[in-house]
Amino acid sequence: MTIVDFHHHAPLASYVGRLTALGIQAQPGAPFPVWEPADSLRMMDRLGIDLAVLSVASPGFWFGDQAFTTQLCRDTNDELTEVVRDGGGRFAAVACLPLPSVDAALAEVERVFDRPEFSGVGLLTSYSGGYVGHPKFDALLETLDERGAFIHVHPVLPAWWPEGEIPLRPSVLEYLFDSTRLITNLLLTDVPRRFPRLRWVFSHCGGAMPVVAPRMALAEGMPQLAAVVEQGGVLAALRAFRYDTALSHTAADLGALLTYLDDSRIVLGTDFPFSSLDEVAERFELLREYLGDTPRRQAVLSGNARALLGDLPAR
């Protein structure tokens, strides 16, 4: 069984250095972990993971200066390409895109998408306050749809985060809520039907969506949900997406999601190195216990990921 980790971060030293120089942390109150590719290989060897799909993800690349964003994405993608090439077949990566400029993102797709080192692209839930389902992003989604792209989505600090009101790191609550907002945004804008070849994978089992979805289903009579009803309703529409298990490995989160979609939509995620090796190892064992020694375990840890990667033109 080839085990694939779909949620595996690569906080490259050059990327971290540029953001640190601007006073930007991984999230407010949380510094970046120190990382190099050898750290990931040691973690993978300990847990028996064969392939990690690397992403840079949050806090992203947009900090108010499009020229900075565009150059940082280009340099990061080039460095990720080298990490994968030097990884002995243990790594793949998702390319970062210099949003919110759609023109810059399209240029970067053209530049790097067909590199064999990239399995697809990584997107954040929102950019400069705009969610990815907004019509202003349609040209990008259309291009990615034409290419049958795999998109890994990671949450980011929302533009209207009420700093100081709840004294917790944003990853504890806000990241979960922002994933939920984006998924809702995509459903309301009919993205799954308009761009059917896109393969979305959402972090952390979709954030709070596993418990919000039944509540949304109760509101299907509202005119705003008409497009979702045409997709078969909220619970059916969510089956258009895939979800990773990063920080979501129990009956309360993964189990809730599995009540309305089957295990073919779930892939493994560890969130390393933002979670330490010992934390990842403990959660990985809990996930294996929860899945049991069943075909479900093989599907989540291996089969679903291999099918997804195998479907991609770039692979």
The owner of tokens 């497009």 is 227
How far apart CA 217 and CA 226 sit, in angstroms, is 12
Q: Is residue 89 part of a domain?
A: yes
Flag whether 111 is in a domain: yes
193-224 tens-digit pLDDT: 999 999 999 999 999 999 999 999 999 999 99
Mean of pLDDT over the chain:
93
Residues 276, 282, 288, 291, Cα dihedral to 10°:
-100
What is the band of 312 on the pLDDT scale with cuts at 50, 70, 90? very low
The count of residues in the chain is 315
Q: Give CA separation, 298 vs 267, 274, 301, 305, in Å.
A: 10, 25, 5, 10
263-266: long-range pairs with CB below 8 Å, 24+: 263/296, 263/299, 263/300, 263/304, 264/299, 264/304, 265/239, 265/241, 265/304, 266/205, 266/242, 266/299, 266/300, 266/304
Residues 5-54 have pLDDT tens digits of 999 999 999 999 999 999 999 988 889 999 999 999 999 999 999 999 99
pLDDT of residue 314: 35
Please tell me the total count of domains within the chain. Answer: 1
Parallel/antiparallel/unpaired status of strands 130-131 and 126-127: antiparallel
Sign for the CA dihedral angle at 226, 231, 232, 235 comes to: negative
Q: What average pLDDT does range 289-305 have in this prediction?
A: 93
Domain presence at residue 46:
yes
φ, ψ dihedrals at 115, nearest 5°: -65, 130
Residue 110 lies in a domain: yes
Distance of CA 176 to the CA centre of its chain: 12
For residue 100, whether the previous peptide bond is cis, meaning omega lies within 30 degrees of 0, is yes
Task: Tally the C-alpha atoms within 13 A of residue 237's C-alpha that lie toward its C-beta.
Answer: 28
| CATH number, domain with residue 90 | 3.20.20.140
For the cut 70, the answer to whether the pLDDT of residue 282 exceeds it is yes
For residue 92, pLDDT over 80 is answered with: yes
pTM value? 0.94
Q: Which domain holds residue 144?
A: 4-310
In whole angstroms, what is the distance from residue 190 CA to residue 164 CA? Answer: 35
pLDDT band at 313 (very low <50, low <70, confident <90, very high): very low
Checking if the pLDDT of 272 tops 70, the result is yes
Q: What residue has token string 């049991």?
A: 292
| The token pair that represents 273 in the structure block | 């190195």
- Write out pLDDT tens, residues 113-158: 999 999 999 999 999 889 999 999 999 999 999 999 999 999 998 8
Sign of CA dihedral 164, 165, 169, 171: negative
Average pLDDT over residues 260-284: 95
Q: Which of 26-35, 47-56, 82-91, 272-281 has the lowest mean pLDDT?
A: 26-35
Instruction: Determine, yes or no, domain membership for 68.
Output: yes
**φ and ψ at 30, to 5 degrees?**
-135, 115
Would you state the pLDDT for residue 57? 87
pLDDT at 49: 97
Q: What is the pLDDT of residue 237?
A: 94
Q: With a cut of 70, say whether residue 178 has pLDDT above it.
A: yes
Beta strands 91-96 and 118-124, pairing class? parallel
* Percentage above 90 pLDDT, the chain: 85
Structure-model confidence comparison of residues 166 and 274, the more confident one:
274
Domain-embedded: residue 315: no
Q: How many CA atoms are closer than 13 Å to the CA of 107, on its beta-carbon side?
A: 11
